[in-house]
Amino acid sequence: MKIATFEHGDQVSYGAVVGDGIVDLRKRTKHVSVLHLIATNWLAEAEKIAEGASPDIALKDVRLVPPVVCPEKILCIGVNYGNRHAEYKDGGEPAKYPSMFFRTPGSFVGSGEPLVKPSVTQQFDYEGEIALVIGKEGRRIAKEKAYEHIAGYTLCNEGTAREWTRHSKFNVTQGKNFDASGSLGPWMVTANEINPAKPLHLTTKVNGELRQDDTTANLLFTFADLLAYITIFTTLKPGDIVVTGTPVGAGARFDPPRWLKAGDVVDISVPEIGTLSNRVADEA
């Protein structure tokens, strides 16, 4: 099931995406949000409700927002595809453990919404990524049990103000958290629709030009590795999001760099999930 959160008029709702329409699940269940649906283990019941139902509203008539509104945590992984380490050209050894940072919910918009280029950066960049939505609480999750904790999958554009990722000596937090600088969506595909044994093919295009092209077979730390590592130090909760890293080909790695500008359109795609699309706009 593809499940989207959307705005229509002055109402926020969520529903199953069926063709070019949405079956509004909020008005058919007692659950007020996708987060509530996940936390109460109701995704399978929601899918049954959506089966055979006629769409209530056309996709073109809604404003998509990130699939899970107000997750407790958004954890992001850096340098997690083969060849990414070599892009840094620093002579260092590949990391033994995942690199990590946090992002705030307000730093993301939904598919179709403007990706806001901060006025204080001239180095605005894209990063196409797959994101995991956690379905079941877990601490010290065993790798062989990791997929049991995934509710679904979505896409992420890790919009980044590059010169702000080294604003201080050791952290990237500032450059990763400008309001509305990244995106999540277009919806969440439930885990029962994804074969964990089959690599997912991720592409990123800017104005139709292919920039990133790789599969999860090339991950340095698999989805299971990530959940096992993260839950050594923190408890993952239903609705938490883990953004799993970007392949080679971000704008910063070209010579000369190819930064985003107002009017550019970034499309991030995985066939099993869909396409996350955003046009860049200058900050007002």
In tens, the pLDDT along 137-193 reads 999 999 999 999 999 999 999 999 999 998 888 789 999 999 999 999 999 999 999
Residue type at 145? K
Mean pLDDT estimate for the chain: 95
CB-CB contact of 272 with 201 (8 Å)? no
Overall pTM > 0.85: yes
Q: According to CATH, what is the number of the domain 66-282?
A: 3.90.850.10
Domain ranges of the chain: 2-64, 66-282
Q: Tell me the CA distances in angstroms from 139 to 127, 229, 234, 241, 272, one per residue in order.
A: 29, 10, 7, 15, 29
**∠ at Cα 58 (23, 188), nearest 5°?**
55
3-state DSSP helix/strand/coil % of the chain, to nearest 5 = 20, 35, 45
The answer on pLDDT for 84 being more than 60 is no
The answer on pLDDT for 89 being more than 70 is no
Collapsing DSSP to helix, strand or coil, 14 comes out as strand
Distance, in Å, from the CA atom of 282 to the CA atom of 130, rounded to the nearest integer, reads: 25
Average of pLDDT values for 49-68? 96
* Number of CB atoms found within 10 A of residue 119's CB: 10
H-state helical runs in 2-137: 34-39, 43-50, 84-87
In tens, the pLDDT along 104-142 reads 999 999 999 999 999 999 999 999 999 999 999 999 999
The answer on pLDDT for 39 being more than 80 is yes
pLDDT value of residue 86: 56
- Phi first, then psi: what are they for 229, rounded to 5°? -70, -50
Distance, in Å, from the CA atom of 26 to the CA atom of 46, rounded to the nearest integer, reads: 10
CB-CB contact of 64 with 154 (8 Å)? no
In tens, the pLDDT along 217-239 reads 999 999 999 999 999 999 999 99
Question: What percent of the chain shows pLDDT beyond 90?
Answer: 93
